[in-house]
A and B are shown apart, each in its own frame.
Chain A
């Protein structure tokens, strides 16, 4: 992913259910997520 390392999804949850307006999120199984990654210490150029 563009040169990042240590990609990790740490949390996922349904954050769209019950929204005031109709959403297409459920049709595609859409979840809210948190994820993190790190730019390598020794790398300076994106792949």
Chain B
């Protein structure tokens, strides 16, 4: 956690384009093999229960590409409002929707059209009307101030160069007393500036 907070010097649009391309492939061809694990084996590795996994459409499970398990960090309660930052194919958003129930609400935010489409299709297939997937960036969440009881994210903050901007947005959308529950990555060795500015290393 001693890495510099200042964003690396790289073109944000180029990076986002590369990330969109990578995760469009995770959405469309999840079994092709990536530099990270995906799908049901990953869900088991991260400690998701069979009951939660089995309740989801298989296409949603197949495109899981997280690095942790936000639900291990605290229970979601019926009626709560949840924002899932970088919601991908909807894996965590749909579990959250099940946990908060129809008196709650879930907003998933993602920047990859193929993931958004896949998540919306899954939500419709499950009959969930209290989960919504919005196009947007973690640094500028399309969510009202102090709307959420809980902000979730899984394997996404590490893909954002300006992490302070991301956490400020998460702070903004949380109610006072709201909870941040995140799965992501920890880098134990210093990354040279040159590497931080190399787009390929961000996606692989």
Chain A: residues with CB nearer than 8 A to chain B? 1-4, 9-13, 15-16, 18-25, 27-44, 46
Are A30 and B182 closer than 8 Å at their CB atoms? no
B73 to chain A: which residues have CB within 8 Å?
Answer: 10, 34-36
Instruction: Flag if B35 contacts A16 (CB, 8 Å).
Output: yes
Name the distance in Å between B190's Cβ and chain A's nearest Cβ: 8
Q: A32–B62 Cα gap in the complex (Å)? A: 19
Chain B residues near A22 (CB-CB < 8 A)? 35, 204
Instruction: Say yes or no for B191: interface residue by CB 8 A criterion.
Output: yes
Q: Is B126 an interface residue (CB 8 A)?
A: no
> What is the number of residues of chain B that contact chain A, defined by CB distance less than 8 Å?
42
Q: Report the bound CA distance from A37 to B177 in whole Å.
A: 10
CA distance A46 to B146 in the complex (A): 12
Which residues 161-186 of B sit at the A interface, judged by CB distance below 8 A?
A: 164, 167-168, 170-172, 174-186
Interface of A is mostly: loop
Point out residues on B near A: beta carbons under 8 Å: 33-37, 42, 45-46, 67-70, 72-74, 146, 155, 164, 167-168, 170-172, 174-189, 191, 201, 204
- Could you give 6 example pairs across A and B, Cβ below 8 Å? A15-B45, A21-B35, A30-B185, A36-B74, A38-B177, A39-B179
Q: Pick the residue among A2, A13, A20, A23 that contacts B167 (CB under 8 A).
A: A2
| Cβ contact within 8 Å between A36 and B179 | yes
Instruction: For residue B131, give the distance in angstroms from its CB to the closest CB of chain A.
Output: 22
Q: Can you add 8 more A-B contacts, CB < 8 Å, to A11-B69, A32-B46? A: A4-B171, A15-B67, A20-B35, A23-B36, A23-B204, A33-B184, A33-B185, A39-B179
Question: What A residues does B36 contact at CB under 8 A?
Answer: 15-16, 19, 23
